[in-house]
Chain A
């Protein structure tokens, strides 16, 4: 397996992965912090390094619309965006999934307006969590690269045919340099291969109507099929991860379990904060505390059964959400973890912590504070309401 070590930011690595994938069509629109992805990629196009038709659309709504057209025509299609751009695509996200189009999107997580803010939180992609897109989050730049390469195979798999978004934390990953191992162009090409055959708009032997009007008699069945694809794609995500592990030695699961085996207290979270949390776990472990971390990598589909298995013996769990649910109770990840554990015989105590909105820095002391809360809940036997970490209240 020939590979190279390179120093790249999250945005550079997304662009690099896209160059190696060499899609047929990219349609994209700039937005901080994802802008560089399209800038770097259009330079690749200008320099003839890719065969891609690049559509410099006039908005993100048109970016996703053009991706839908291109993918329906049989092209391997990619795009990238953040926050307001993803919000503007919202209508089309559901359509991309409903039409079962394997579009790949790099999303650099950023807070949603208002107030306008360009820094990281997960409210943008959390808002798209029920759209039928597979969602894979990255802890670091290496994962972003690895996730992107695998995403192509996942999306296009004949039993999946769903769009995939791969995310990085805005600025924290998108603009930070990291030394990562990348594959040879040829290995990437071999791994992604030719896209499997689908029914497409350019097949005049078999003309098809895409996006027909489905009324009471068919809509439900077609939506049920989307659900079925989501239900079943976990197995394929794992299959592709193991092929990827054979190629790279880097093995990915839906989750990363960090020192969880004998843990009594655990934090569950998504994204780059996992790095910080691991440091704190290590330190508390030295002090004899049985603590651990569960990092969620694949959020859609969400593997409820495995989560239940992994977390059932923990005494107290802190679920950290980098997005608010504004439902007067909790954040979106908390809802999922609660659901997963409801049917466990041995239900751990759960607490929710909302943190890091709008790029608010997450320090080790914040993670320590969360663990302290978990210890306290255990000591006092009292559950707490959702807490906001690192905010002036």
Chain B
């Protein structure tokens, strides 16, 4: 694993000039993922904030070959690119070792793109799929996705007089991907550069399909103070809302255990999407959220111990 100094010296493949909001997590995720890959890499990106902000013609932030085709199909698109590479390599028309990375938002991953993701994972294409997960459809104006946490107010799960934001807990995409029995699945945050870089390195050195779920703050949709973007992801880890772990060939490994598990209110209170939950009368919802976080955390600890 490279030191931060070494990383800083690497040639950037995701460069400045993009038009993501200041304080957006997606740019940090893209930059760190690309820095971690010290090989020729082809990138695919699903429609969403990252893609529309980084490729406004005639400009591009990608100093590496890049393709966007549509919203729900980045895994299938990169399946095609990777297969072309295999075919041309077999014929001796190409000799480089090339890495393939697909970026999808949570909408493009958990919802509309789930089928194409599942298909590509099952077929075992050699690619790294990175879900930059800002927990809603941000590009179209903060609509709920199945990754949106319970209680969050979005424009299609608004907190109202009778409904207090999103009713459901988020979909457990990690278990879904682990159930595909792919060789590498991990969850990380951009707020710990070494964790994400390490995981990307492992993923691209895995022979097969790998999946990394990255929490990616959205200063407009959560919303939070832009300068808190990285801090907020570390808080997600310390409240056990977003544990850092990996599953290598089916074996669970916890990468970080908070010394002191913080209450979920710490994470809720700095984001306006949860503001209504902290008002009198909604205590039971916060309690339910805390309970579900505890349950998922215990479940993860058990899996890490027994696998």
Interface residues of A (CB under 8 A from B): 24-25, 27, 51-53, 55-59, 61-63, 65-75, 77, 91-92, 95, 99, 200-204, 207-215, 218
Contact = CB atoms under 8 A, between A and B. Distances in A.
B258 interface: no
A163 B64 CA distance: 26
Interface of B: 40, 42, 44, 51-52, 55-58, 60, 62-70, 72-73, 76-88, 90-91, 94, 96, 98, 115-116, 118-120, 122-123
B80 A67 contact: yes
A69 B44 contact: yes
Contacts of B60: 209, 212
A57 B65 contact: no
B88 A77 contact: no
A27 B67 CA distance: 18
Given A207-B63, A213-B57, A68 B80 contact: yes
Contacts of B82: 69
A91 B72 CA distance: 11
Given A61-B72, A75-B88, 9 more contacts: A59-B119, A73-B81, A73-B85, A75-B80, A92-B69, A99-B69, A203-B65, A210-B68, A211-B55
Contacts of A212: 55-58, 60, 68
A124 B40 CA distance: 41
Contact of A207 (B64, B80, B84): B64
A291 B83 CA distance: 52
A212 B94 CA distance: 26
A210 B66 contact: yes
A202 B73 contact: no
A66 B57 contact: no
A212 B19 CA distance: 13
A27 to B, nearest CB: 6
B21 to A, nearest CB: 16
Contacts of A63: 76
B165 to A, nearest CB: 31
A69 B65 CA distance: 12
A210 B94 CA distance: 20
Contacts of A77: 80, 84
Contact of A73 (B40, B42, B58, B68): B42
13 contacts: A52-B87, A57-B119, A62-B79, A62-B120, A63-B76, A65-B80, A66-B79, A67-B80, A77-B84, A208-B66, A209-B62, A212-B60, A213-B57
Given A27-B83, A75-B88, A214-B57, A201 B69 contact: no
A72 B43 CA distance: 12
A25 B87 contact: yes
Given A62-B76, A215-B56, A204 B83 contact: no
Nearest to B66: A209
B80 A73 contact: yes
B66 A58 contact: no
B73 A65 contact: yes
A51 B87 contact: yes
Contact of A201 (B56, B72, B81): B81
Closest 8 CB pairs of A and B: A69-B80, A58-B119, A66-B80, A75-B84, A73-B84, A62-B76, A65-B76, A211-B68
A204 B57 contact: no
A69 B78 contact: yes
Nearest to B55: A212
Contacts of B70: 65, 91-92, 95
Nearest to B52: A213
Contacts of B57: 212-215, 218
Contacts of B120: 62
Nearest to B77: A69
B138 to A, nearest CB: 15
Interface centre among B55, B56, B81, B82 (most CB of A within 10 A): B81
Nearest to B102: A69
A61 B116 contact: yes
Contacts of A200: 65
A25 B116 contact: no
Contacts of B63: 207
A37 B301 CA distance: 50
A70 B80 contact: yes
A61 B76 contact: yes
A27 B70 CA distance: 17
Contact of A59 (B65, B91, B115, B122): B115
Given A53-B84, A68-B77, A75-B88, A62 B115 contact: yes
B80 A95 contact: no
A214 B68 CA distance: 12
Contacts of A67: 80
